[in-house]
Structure 1
């Protein structure tokens, strides 16, 4: 009965009620969006790298190792000898291994030396693999694969040549001009630090630093070529067609980036056969006496890093809460402002037997109806908006929305808003209650 009266009363004040409804809906939607993005950003942040069970480097602190290997910020203090890398690779618990060599840049972007195993095993978000927008992975020692942001900002495409520089500054006077790298592929947008990195082969990176004469693989290749040339001159007429066939086969043989063994690398990412053994292997690596090494669990390190930035999400949530409170105060103001217009309505209700307490409940029901409808509209609006923006958020900002969007925190927010509505509506409800008393006294006089 009272609900029906409340709805009819709101219909008579349709314009004011709609504006108030719109204000509350926008405020609740904003608060829900902030809450969803806050929780999803935290989840996406902790999934900047996924599928990597351990990150191993020189002892330099957990966060420093994480920042240098995953976010391309800073650099490890020293490298890892390759004999240690070979030992990790041969470990029975290790399924795959990604070596990373850091310390160079290209026009302010980080250069990462690695192998094709990086593109095979590195994952992000919901275990999403890296994909090529164009081109392919490393096809020769001086191949490079660039991130989507670099290709877009510098206008690079497959086949272009780039020069890398030694050091991490945006301007370097030590360019490796004698060893230009050819872009073999451009990665699709991931919304992660991968988009802002240049990936080169470990072989090409070492040759750029030391020269091809010091590269064991290059030396072997040259010696083999010299012997082949001598042999070809000796039997030029006898085996001409056979050598042409061998040369054709050699030119089209796939490049094996794993065959090269550098002197050292900066960081190693490990994927284990069984993730439950991660803590055990981490302890073994950290206690190793052969070479001082440090192994970290990327998930735990990312969670620790997020705690440092936790104040930002609290601030955003607090500001959104203030906006909702302002909207609810506007609701109370609207109800108070219409009280003068409702004197005749209150008198009629008193005449048909409605008591002061009934008038108090009527005003509170009106307020709760407006907020409940606003909350329902906000849930639908936010769900639709997030569904539409999901591809854009994942590709542009690396924000991977996962279901369900509305969790326990969203339920708590809605309940708190309804509770605050009840408290705020007390002011106009008490005014209606007092008006009902006066109307009753006037009727008896």
Structure 2
């Protein structure tokens, strides 16, 4: 009886009810959408570098080492000598090691010197490898491979020249040793997108005529002469290390941290990423709070809708009372109406989220490198639906109690 009356009453007010359901659906969709983006961003952040067991650099802090070696933010306190790098590479626990040399820039983008091993061993998003969408990996001393954001922002194409600036935000450029774009990388959503990658030898080559951070006046060595020189680096900024067995990771980390020749630091990327996320991830709490307030606002709007409809339904309530309906039944009918609206709105909101994911996933991945997985509804979605239904029942109690207090005489009275 209550179910039939509630459904009939909702259909009688189809426009108002439909707008309320739509408001709830949009608010639930926003809440779940923010949650999907939050978890996707957190997973993408954690997968900025995967498959690397240790990051090695000069002794500083784990977050600082992660920032400059992976995110290209800030500068190293010191470099790692080439001899120390070779000692670590020769250890029996090491499966592979990739050096990284930083310090120069190109139009606000960081320049990184490394080896071809970087393209083989750097992984992101749970083991995904770097891919060249145009051109090839550098095979000449003055070739460079650029990230997707560099190519898009600066409009570079294969074969375009690149002049590297000495240091960061520097007006001094290595104009006598220009590079050529040989490859453009696929969008990854990692700091690689904003990096100009050259060979380790190229970093040495462009600094042949430099001493103590300044160019030697009047000296300019021709490229053909530089190509014949020994360009073995004297130091590197950091190194990515993969071990042969996960069981050897901690012993190798301890050995590097206790390295007697110079103060070094080896960090676990996953641990450092979690530490960094705990610092920068406060925004996710703010996003959840904002989206949660949107849901609360929609529920309050539903309560206001029920309140406003009571004036139109005074006679209806009075008739129910006159026909012998108990106050509890009227309260139950109004609460059930609210729960039904909340349930339909919440289910529609979940459907909107998944429809949006199907449409937006390829675009978001291609444009931002942010992977939003489409998974079967989890307990999180179920709890959101149940929470919205429960909240709908709670907020409807206030107008329901007001309806309970309506008297038959008040409902039947004709006001002039």
Does the 8 Å contact 1:383/1:405 carry over to 2? no
Work out which of the residue numbers 190, 193, 196 in structure 2 matches 1:195. Answer: 193
Distance of aligned partners of 1:5 and 1:115 in 2 relative to their CA distance in 1, 3 Å threshold: same
Deviates more, 1:389-398 or 1:372-381: 389-398
Work out which of the residue numbers 179, 190, 202 in structure 2 matches 1:204. Answer: 202
Higher helix share: 1
Residue by residue over 1:45-102, the C-alpha shift from the partner in whole angstroms, topping out at 9 and shown as x without a partner, is: 1111111111000012111111101111112121111122222222222222111000
**Distance of 2:4 and 2:38 partners within structure 1:** 39
Residue by residue over 1:395-439, the C-alpha shift from the partner in whole angstroms, topping out at 9 and shown as x without a partner, is: 32232223537544444433332222121100111122222xx22
**Distance of 2:45 and 2:119 partners within structure 1:** 20
Q: Which residue of 2 aligns with 1:45?
A: 45
Q: CA deviation at 1:288?
A: 1.7
**Distance of 2:370 and 2:151 partners within structure 1:** 21
Does the 8 Å contact 1:192/1:397 carry over to 2? no
Q: CA deviation at 1:441?
A: 10
Does the 8 Å contact 2:120/2:129 carry over to 1? yes
Residue by residue over 1:97-148, the C-alpha shift from the partner in whole angstroms, topping out at 9 and shown as x without a partner, is: 1110000011221100001111111111232111111111121111111111
TM-score by length of 1: 0.85
Structure 2: unaligned runs, 5 residues or longer: 211-218
Distance of aligned partners of 1:364 and 1:291 in 2 relative to their CA distance in 1, 3 Å threshold: same
Work out which of the residue numbers 302, 321, 332 in structure 1 matches 2:292. Answer: 321
**Distance of 1:407 and 1:162 partners within structure 2:** 49
Q: CA deviation at 1:442?
A: 9.2
**Distance of 1:277 and 1:425 partners within structure 2:** 61
Does the 8 Å contact 2:142/2:180 carry over to 1? yes
Q: Larger radius of gyration, structure 1 or 2?
A: 1
Q: Which residue of 1 aligns with 2:329?
A: 358
Q: CA deviation at 1:209?
A: 0.6
Matches within 5 A, 1:99-248: 99-169=99-169, 171-173=170-172, 175-211=173-209, 222=228
Q: Which residue of 2 aligns with 1:78?
A: 78
Q: Tell me how many residue pairs correspond in the alignment.
A: 402
Matches within 5 A, 1:274-285: 274-285=245-256
**Distance of 1:406 and 1:87 partners within structure 2:** 50
Does the 8 Å contact 2:319/2:408 carry over to 1? no
Three-state SS of the structure 2 residue aligned to 1:307 is: helix
Distance of aligned partners of 1:291 and 1:406 in 2 relative to their CA distance in 1, 3 Å threshold: farther
Distance of aligned partners of 1:85 and 1:403 in 2 relative to their CA distance in 1, 3 Å threshold: farther
Cα RMSD of the aligned pairs, angstroms, is: 2.5
**Distance of 1:44 and 1:408 partners within structure 2:** 22
Does the 8 Å contact 1:149/1:196 carry over to 2? yes
Three-state SS of the structure 2 residue aligned to 1:325 is: helix
Three-state SS of the structure 1 residue aligned to 2:284 is: helix
Q: Which residue of 1 aligns with 2:345?
A: 374
**Distance of 2:337 and 2:281 partners within structure 1:** 38
Three-state SS of the structure 2 residue aligned to 1:103 is: coil
Does the 8 Å contact 1:97/1:270 carry over to 2? yes
**Distance of 1:58 and 1:404 partners within structure 2:** 42
Does the 8 Å contact 1:190/1:396 carry over to 2? no
Q: CA deviation at 1:154?
A: 1.6
**Distance of 2:250 and 2:374 partners within structure 1:** 29
